C-alpha cells in the first residue's frame, strides 16, 4: 500500500543536506519513505492525501522522558513557583506512589502519555526507569517501559533512597539491579548532580553499565557546574542532558567530541574520534524543565556556534516538566534560546535521533532511521496546520498539529 502526500507548501527534510523543499510531495510505502521531490513530478500511488498547502516536518524525536510513574507533585510545583528552589529530593515522592501502583495501572498511565505525545507530532520516544529505586521495581519499570516506548534507559542511579547508604546503593545499581533490568533496556543514565550521585559514584555506574553493553547517557550540569559533561565525553556517552551550567572547558570538550564528524559522515573517510559512524556527545537541552525549575536556559546558541550537536527534548516527568509538547520546546528555543526555527526543529527531530543513535541507515537493529525525511527512512511525518514551520514560534501556544504518520500509519490527532 502506497500513499502520496502532495500539495506540501514547505517540506523541511532535516536530512544531511538540510533541504527545505517547496511545492513538494512525499510517497509512503509500507513503513518507509519511498520518494520525495517536487509535487509536479510525483509518481502515482494507491491513495493520495492533499496537504492543502501545509508544512511537513519529520515527526518529533523526544530523546528524554520519564513516563513510568504514578502520583502527583502539584504541591511541589506550587512551592517552587512561590520561591522555593528545586532539589533532586522530590523524586522520592514519585517513587513512593509508583511502587504502590499496579502493573496494569502503570502501563495504562504510560500508554496515555505516549498517546498524548503522538497526538502532538512525537513519533519516536525514549523513556527511563528511575522511580522504582529497588531491584524489583526498577525491573518492573523497565519491563513496562519496553512495551510502550521506542527506547528504554536504565536510571536506577536517579536518587539514593532515603535511609540508604549511598555507597551500598551504588553497588546495588552496578550489580543486581543492572542485571535485573538488562533484558529490557538499551541505555543507562546517571543523575550526576549535587543531591544525587557524585563524580566517583557516577563513574562507577557508567563503567558498570558500559561493561554490560549498554549505551550511556548522563543527567549533568543542571543545578551548577560539575563533572557531568566531562564524564559524558570521557565515557563516550551518546548524550549529556540538561547542560544549564557550562564552563568554557565543558563546551570545548563537547565540541571536541564532534570534531570533523559531519565531514567524515558525508565522505565515509577517516577513523578515530569524529570519523564516519562515530558520534560525539549530544548536548540535550530541556527548556520546559528549565522554565519549570526557574533555572537559566541551557546555552543552546553557544553550543551550536561551538560546533556541538544539539537535541531538544521534553523531559516529561511529574516533578519538573509535566509536558510532552515538543512544539512548546521548539517555540521556547526560538523565542528565548536564540535558535532559528530551522535549528530548533532540527534539534527536536534529527538531534533527538542522533542522541538515540537512530539518525542514519535504512535498517539499524531492525529499526529504520528516524528524525529526517529521506528515501528509505521510517515514514514518521508531522503535518502542521500552517504553511511553514515558522508558525511554531510565530503563533506560540497554538496547537498546529494537523496530521501525524508513525512508521507510515496515520495516528489519532486531538
Residue with cell 559512524: 277
As a dihedral over the C-alpha atoms of residue 393, residue 396, residue 397, residue 399, rounded to 10 degrees, the angle is -50
Share of the chain above pLDDT 90, in %: 86
Q: Which three cell numbers stand for residue 213?
A: 553493553
What confidence score (pLDDT) does residue 93 get?
A: 86
Distance CA 238, CA 291 (A): 25
Query: ∠142-312-357 over CA atoms, to 5°?
Result: 55
Beta bridge partners of 124: 61
pLDDT of residue 80: 86
Residue with more model confidence, 86 or 288: 288
Comparing 261-270, 329-338, 393-402, the range with the smallest average pLDDT is 261-270
- According to the model, what pLDDT value does residue 149 have? 98
The full set of domains in the chain, from first to last, is 2-59+373-410 (2.30.40.10), 66-339 (3.20.20.140)
Confidence band (pLDDT; 50, 70, 90) for 164?
A: very high
pLDDT in tens, 60-112: 999 999 999 999 999 888 888 888 877 655 788 899 999 999 999 999 999 99
Q: Is the pLDDT of residue 258 over 80?
A: yes
Amino acid at each position: 500500500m502506497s500513499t502520496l502526500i502532495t500539495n506540501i507548501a514547505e517540506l523541511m527534510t532535516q536530512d544531511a543536506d538540510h533541504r527545505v523543499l517547496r511545492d513538494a510531495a512525499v510517497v509512503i510505502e509500507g513503513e518507509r519513505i519511498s520518494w520525495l521531490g517536487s509535487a509536479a513530478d510525483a509518481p502515482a500511488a494507491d491513495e493520495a492525501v492533499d496537504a492543502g498547502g501545509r508544512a511537513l516536518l519529520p515527526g518529533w524525536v523526544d530523546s528524554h522522558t520519564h513516563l513510568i510513574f504514578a502520583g502527583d507533585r502539584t504541591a511541589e510545583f506550587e512551592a517552587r513557583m512561590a520561591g522555593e528552589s528545586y532539589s533532586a529530593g522530590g523524586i522520592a515522592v514519585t517513587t513512593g506512589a509508583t511502587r504502590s501502583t499496579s502493573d496494569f495501572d502503570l502501563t495504562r498511565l504510560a500508554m496515555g502519555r505516549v498517546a498524548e505525545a503522538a497526538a502532538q507530532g512525537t513519533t519516536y520516544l525514549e523513556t527511563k526507569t528511575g522511580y522504582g529505586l529497588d531491584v524489583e521495581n526498577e525491573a518492573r519499570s523497565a519491563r513496562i517501559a519496553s512495551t510502550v516506548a521506542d527506547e528504554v534507559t536504565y536510571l536506577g542511579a536517579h536518587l539514593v533512597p532515603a535511609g540508604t547508604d549511598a555507597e551500598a546503593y551504588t553497588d546495588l545499581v552496578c550489580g543486581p539491579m543492572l542485571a535485573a533490568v538488562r533484558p529490557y533496556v538499551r541505555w543507562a543514565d546517571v543523575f550526576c548532580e549535587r543531591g544525587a550521585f557524585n563524580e566517583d559514584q557516577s563513574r562507577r555506574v557508567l563503567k558498570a553499565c558500559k561493561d554490560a553493553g549498554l549505551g550511556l547517557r548522563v543527567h549533568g550540569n543542571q543545578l551548577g557546574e560539575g563533572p557531568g559533561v566531562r564524564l559524558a565525553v570521557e565515557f563516550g556517552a551518546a548524550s549529556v542532558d540538561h547542560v544549564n551550567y557550562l564552563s568554557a572547558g565543558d563546551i570545548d570538550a563537547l565540541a571536541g567530541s564532534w570534531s570533523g564528524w559531519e565531514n567524515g559522515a558525508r565522505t565515509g573517510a577517516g577513523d578515530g574520534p569524529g570519523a564516519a559512524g562515530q558520534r560525539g556527545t549530544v548536548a540535550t537541552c530541556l527548556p520546559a524543565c528549565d522554565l519549570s525549575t526557574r533555572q537559566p536556559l541551557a546555552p543552546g546558541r553557544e553550543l551550536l556556534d561551538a560546533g556541538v550537536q544539539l537535541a531538544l527534548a521534553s523531559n516529561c516527568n511529574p516533578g519538573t516538566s509535566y509536558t510532552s509538547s515538543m512544539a512548546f520546546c521548539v517555540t521556547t528555543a526560538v523565542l528565548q534560546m536564540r535558535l532559528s526555527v530551522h535549528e530548533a526543529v532540527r534539534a527536536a527531530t534529527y538531534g533527538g535521533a542522533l542522541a538515540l543513535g537512530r539518525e542514519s541507515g535504512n535498517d539499524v537493529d531492525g529499526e529504520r532511521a528516524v528524525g529526517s525525511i529521506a528515501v528509505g527512512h521510517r515514514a514518521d511525518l508531522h503535518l502542521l496546520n500552517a504553511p511553514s514551520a515558522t508558525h511554531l514560534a510565530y503563533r506560540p501556544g497554538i496547537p498546529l498539529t494537523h496530521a501525524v504518520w508513525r512508521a507510515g500509519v496515520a495516528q489519532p490527532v486531538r
